[in-house]
């Protein structure tokens, strides 16, 4: 049964609301500086930025307990920072340093932080959805009430792994919350060229015996509200929820994307509903922040991200001996001939 | 010592480990109410119930991933593939997720999981159901690959695999399930990474594993009757390979034949031979010879299928080659 969210309600207090704004600004600033570093060839490989989608991670992860879990796809910087990862190890990972959140072996697409229940960024589309289901399975197996949040893009719902995992989650009533962050474009393929139906709530909800909901993911408070309902349901043993979060990414699929599949007008229109501006304005209206505290926040975040870059730049690279570390728990013998 | 079938030895290993550790569970197609397609899980559902012995839909990728996810947070799943041929549907989960997780998370998440099930040419199963995929899995850093040939090792290696903190590919052979042998009672653990000198000899080293151990021992017996002393080594673990045992034997015999039931090109024997050549080439008195499956898809026809496999005749011919001996 899909439900459409319309009216935002106040579900966070002032302190949490301001933390969320700070997190969204941190993600935006982090990504902008990452783009700069990528262009300056400090960051290699593929780098997928989260600009424009900040409210989705912040509003949903903000409702988790410390002992809950989350897992996401390769556009993972935002989720890691929303879960409270220090930008220093995040930036160091982008620069491939040993102080990075994955020891310099994961890179942009493979952030991890075990101590915060962050089970990673995963770069094969849809491949982590069964993993999330397994984490939820383990929670239920142990009789705990922790939940697992799982994020993926609109491209991932066309993978078999998505349907296999949701079928078992629905059948076994596992405490998982599946978030499709629908930014309308799977790399360069618009939704209407990849999905037979445009209402994604019908692809992941009812077919697998779980409720689904659509939410305007430019509105952090609406995201939080729909997430809270799903969390309550999961903790109560009532099973998973499928959420379609309508969002828009402000940058290319990855840093190497010329974005010929959309127009400047599309982008200008989307930016009128920038999730950070919307949230800022709402907090100003509520009198929870003022212009001067906002300016101070932006300045602190700029300093924080610059400090992260400095930390990353000054951190050591992994040494040649690290090539063979952390492959197996048992002592590792390379199967080399000489 | 009790005599058990290979199938029952596997069953005993799972039973004992599930009794020992509540984190161990069994998941797969028909493992619970049906008692397993090959009856390896006979009685486990009745004993442990649906929480720990779990039937799945036909979704190998999905339930393999569920196993991996649960292992990342501390459970110890045993994932059964009805046959390893079906693991091809789940290969992204195994290779990208299970094998890589510890490395790409900088050591934060390990995956203590066992993927087990039958394999091999077992009688008219044809091309899609007869695969031997050990060389594919052994190719990947992060995986452990184990293939027991005897009932004792079926139990001992499976118990070790379940206790391993790393992902283990545990490949059984459909035609071995009924093979009987002595199996030590109680906490019998066969170490991972250790080959077994099954028959000592001095003229030639014969390396093999899984079902072809039976054929290899028959060939060694025939050779003994002809005055040739063959040393037969069951590799047991294919990754990591027990090079110490292999090299000690080759340094003694100076001749080596490798027998396997998978395809020759990029097969296990190719990799093993390379490692021997690189390390002790000067000690060899003849080029290493290999007896493998024929390089064709696996046919349905019974006679054609049989022609694919190593036989005593093919093995003896290669031994004669390395001994420069005429039959």
DSSP secondary structure, A290-317, as one string:
-HHHHHHHHHHHHHHHHHHHHHHHHSPP
Write a three-state SS string for B157-212.
HHHHHHHCCCCEEEECCHHHCCCEEECCCCCCCCCCCCCEEEECCCCEEEEECCCH
Rounded distance between C-alpha atoms, residue B252 and residue A24, angstroms:
68
Quick one: pLDDT at residue A259?
86
Q: Is B76 an 8 Å CB contact of chain A?
A: no
Rounded distance between C-alpha atoms, residue A31 and residue B116, angstroms:
43
Q: Which of B132, B157, B182 is the last residue of a domain?
A: B182
Do the chains contact at A134 and B57, CB–CB below 8 Å?
no
* CATH assignment of the domain containing B35: 3.40.50.970
Asked if B70 contacts A138 with a C-beta cutoff of 8 angstroms, the reply is yes
Rounded distance between C-alpha atoms, residue A219 and residue A230, angstroms:
17
Rounded distance between C-alpha atoms, residue B30 and residue A259, angstroms:
48
B129 an active-site residue? yes
Quick one: pLDDT at residue A8?
52
- B168 and B244, same domain (yes or no): no
* B76-83 sheet: strands from edge to edge: B53-55, B24-28, B76-83, B114-118, B168-171, B144-146, B237-239
- B262 and B141, same domain (yes or no): no
- B141 and B7, same domain (yes or no): yes
Asked if B312 contacts B218 with a C-beta cutoff of 8 angstroms, the reply is yes
| pLDDT by 10s per residue, chain B, length 327 | 999 999 999 999 999 999 999 999 999 999 999 999 999 999 999 999 999 999 999 999 999 999 999 999 999 999 999 999 999 999 999 999 999 999 999 999 999 999 999 999 999 999 999 999 999 999 999 999 999 999 999 999 999 999 999 999 999 999 999 999 999 988 999 999 999 999 999 999 999 999 999 999 999 999 999 999 999 999 999 999 999 999 999 999 999 999 999 999 999 999 999 999 999 999 999 999 999 999 999 999 999 999 999 999 999 999 999 999 987
Comparing alpha-carbon positions, the chain B residue that sits nearest to A117 is B73
Quick one: pLDDT at residue A260?
86
Quick one: pLDDT at residue B322?
98
Pair of tokens at residue A128: 């982590």
Task: Identify the H or E element spanning B153.
Answer: helix B151-163
Please report residues of A whose CB lies closer than 8 A to that of B112. 329
Rounded distance between C-alpha atoms, residue B268 and residue B246, angstroms:
14
* CATH assignment of the domain containing A12: 3.40.50.970
Q: Which of residues 309-338 of A touch B (CB under 8 A)?
A: 325-330, 332-335, 337-338
3-state secondary structure of B43: coil
Which of the residues B104, B191, B237, B244 would you substitute to probe the A interface, choosing the one with the greatest number of A C-beta atoms within 10 Å? B104
Which of the residues A127, A335, A336 would you substitute to probe the B interface, choosing the one with the greatest number of B C-beta atoms within 10 Å? A335
B143 Cα to chain A: minimum distance (Å): 8
Rounded distance between C-alpha atoms, residue B197 and residue B302, angstroms:
33
Peptide bond into A151 cis (omega under 30): no
- B54 and B128, same domain (yes or no): yes
Of B69, B144, B271, the CB nearest to A134: B69
Of B59, B69, B275, the CB nearest to A167: B59
Quick one: pLDDT at residue B207?
98
- B178 and B41, same domain (yes or no): yes
Q: Is residue B145 part of a domain?
A: yes
Question: Among candidates B2, B3, B1, B6, which has minimal Cα distance to B179?
Answer: B6
Q: Which of B182, B204, B236 is the last residue of a domain?
A: B182
Q: Is residue A335 part of a domain?
A: no
Quick one: pLDDT at residue A3?
52
A325 Cα to chain B: minimum distance (Å): 8
Q: Is residue B188 part of a domain?
A: no
* CATH assignment of the domain containing B227: 3.40.50.920
- B48 and B143, same domain (yes or no): yes
- B95 and B16, same domain (yes or no): yes
Give the residues across from A149 on adjacent strands: A70, A177
Angle separating helix axes A129-141 and A160-172, nearest 10 degrees: 20
- B261 and B165, same domain (yes or no): no
- B150 and B213, same domain (yes or no): no
From B16, B60, B179, B305, the catalytic residue: B60
Question: Among candidates A223, A211, A237, which has minimal Cα distance to A63?
Answer: A223
Q: Which of B182, B209, B235 is the last residue of a domain?
A: B182
Of B61, B107, B165, the CB nearest to A326: B107
Which of the residues B68, B93, B103 would you substitute to probe the A interface, choosing the one with the greatest number of A C-beta atoms within 10 Å? B103
Chunked in runs of 10, what are the mean pLDDT values of chain A (338 residues)? 53 94 98 95 93 96 98 97 98 98 97 98 97 98 98 96 98 98 89 92 95 96 97 98 94 86 88 94 96 96 98 97 97 92
Question: Among candidates B161, B253, B245, B259, which has minimal Cα distance to B207?
Answer: B259
- B63 and B212, same domain (yes or no): no
Q: In terms of C-beta density within 10 A (0-12 exposed, 13-18 middle, 19 or more buried), how is residue A207 classed?
A: middle
3-state secondary structure of B55: strand
- B200 and B298, same domain (yes or no): yes
ipTM comes to: 0.96
Q: Quote the pTM value.
A: 0.96
Quick one: pLDDT at residue A1?
43
Q: Is residue B190 part of a domain?
A: no
Task: Identify the H or E element spanning B291.
Answer: strand B289-291
- B10 and B134, same domain (yes or no): yes
B131 an active-site residue? no
A25 Cα to chain B: minimum distance (Å): 26
Q: Which residues contact residue A184 at a Cβ distance below 8 angstroms, ignoring those fewer than 6 apart?
A: A154, A190, A191, A248
How many domains, chain A? Answer: 1
Comparing alpha-carbon positions, the chain B residue that sits nearest to A122 is B97
Domain region containing B127: 3-182
Q: Is residue A6 part of a domain?
A: yes
From B80, B129, B179, B231, the catalytic residue: B129
Asked if A215 contacts A55 with a C-beta cutoff of 8 angstroms, the reply is no
* CA of residue B220 relative to chain centroid, distance: 21
Q: Which residues contact residue A2 at a Cβ distance below 8 angstroms, ignoring those fewer than 6 apart?
A: A199, A201, A202, A205, A212, A213, A214
3-state secondary structure of B116: strand
How many domains, chain B? Answer: 2
């Amino acid at each position: 049964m899909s439900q459409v969210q319309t009216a935002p309600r106040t579900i966070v207090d002032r302190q949490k609301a301001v933390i969320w704004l700070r997190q969204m600004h941190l993600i935006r600033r982090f990504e902008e500086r990452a783009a700069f570093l990528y262009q300056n060839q400090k960051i290699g490989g593929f780098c997928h930025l989260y600009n424009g989608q900040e409210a989705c991670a912040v509003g949903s992860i903000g409702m988790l307990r410390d002992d809950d879990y989350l897992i996401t796809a390769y556009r993972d910087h935002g989720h890691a920072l929303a879960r409270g990862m220090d930008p220093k190890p995040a930036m160091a990972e982008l620069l491939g340093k040993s102080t990075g959140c994955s020891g310099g072996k994961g890179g942009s697409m493979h952030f991890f932080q075990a101590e915060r229940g962050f089970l990673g960024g995963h770069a094969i589309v849809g491949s982590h959805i069964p993993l999330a289901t397994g984490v939820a399975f383990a929670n239920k197996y142990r009789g705990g009430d922790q939940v697992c949040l799982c994020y993926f893009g609109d491209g991932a719902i066309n993978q078999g792994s998505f349907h296999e995992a949701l079928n078992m989650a629905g059948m076994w009533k596992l405490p998982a919350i599946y978030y499709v962050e629908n930014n309308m474009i799977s790399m360069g393929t618009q939704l209407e060229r990849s999905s037979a139906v445009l209402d994604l709530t019908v692809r992941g909800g009812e077919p697998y015996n779980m409720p689904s909901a659509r939410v305007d993911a430019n509105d952090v408070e609406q995201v939080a509200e729909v997430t809270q309902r799903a969390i309550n349901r999961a903790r109560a043993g009532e099973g998973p929820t499928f959420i379609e979060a309508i969002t828009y990414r402000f940058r290319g699929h990855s840093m190497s994307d010329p974005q010929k599949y959309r127009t400047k007008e599309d982008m200008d229109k989307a930016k009128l509903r920038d999730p950070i501006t919307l949230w800022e304005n709402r907090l100003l209206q509520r009198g929870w922040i003022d212009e001067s505290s906002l300016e101070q926040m932006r300045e602190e975040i700029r300093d924080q991200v610059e400090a992260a870059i400095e930390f990353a730049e000054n951190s050591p690279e992994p040494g040649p001996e690290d090539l063979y570390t952390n492959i197996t728990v048992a002592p590792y013998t390379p199967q080399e001939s000489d | 010592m009790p005599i058990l079938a290979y199938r029952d030895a596997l069953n005993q290993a799972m039973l004992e480990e599930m009794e020992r550790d509540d984190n161990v569970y069994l998941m797969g197609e028909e493992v619970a109410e049906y008692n397993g397609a090959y009856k390896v899980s006979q009685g486990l559902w009745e004993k442990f119930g649906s929480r720990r012995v779990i039937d799945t839909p036909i979704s190998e990728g999905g339930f393999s991933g569920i196993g991996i996810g649960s292992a990342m947070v501390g459970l110890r799943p045993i994932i059964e593939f009805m046959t390893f041929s079906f693991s091809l549907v789940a290969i992204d989960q195994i290779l990208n997720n299970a094998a890589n997780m510890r490395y790409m998370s900088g050591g934060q998440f390990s995956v203590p999981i066992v993927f087990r099930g039958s394999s091999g040419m077992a009688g008219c199963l044809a091309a899609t159901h007869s695969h031997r995929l050990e060389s594919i899995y052994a190719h990947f850093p992060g995986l452990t690959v184990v293939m027991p040939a005897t009932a004792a090792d079926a139990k001992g290696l499976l118990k070790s695999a379940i206790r391993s903190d790393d992902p283990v590919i545990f490949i059984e052979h459909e035609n071995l399930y009924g093979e009987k042998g002595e199996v030590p009672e109680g906490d019998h653990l066969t170490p991972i990474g250790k080959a077994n000198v099954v028959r000592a000899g001095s003229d030639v080293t014969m390396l093999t594993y899984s079902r072809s151990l039976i054929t290899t021992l028959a060939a060694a017996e025939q050779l003994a009757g002809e005055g040739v002393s063959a040393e037969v080594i069951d590799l047991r673990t294919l990754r990591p390979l027990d090079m110490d045992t292999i090299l000690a034997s080759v340094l003694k015999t100076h001749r080596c034949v490798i027998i396997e039931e998978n395809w020759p090109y990029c097969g296990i024997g190719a990799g093993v031979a390379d490692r021997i050549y690189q390390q002790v080439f000067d000690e060899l008195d003849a080029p290493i010879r290999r007896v493998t499956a024929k390089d064709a898809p696996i046919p349905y026809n019974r006679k054609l299928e049989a022609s694919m496999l190593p036989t005593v005749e093919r093995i003896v011919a290669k031994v004669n080659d390395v001994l420069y001996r005429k039959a």
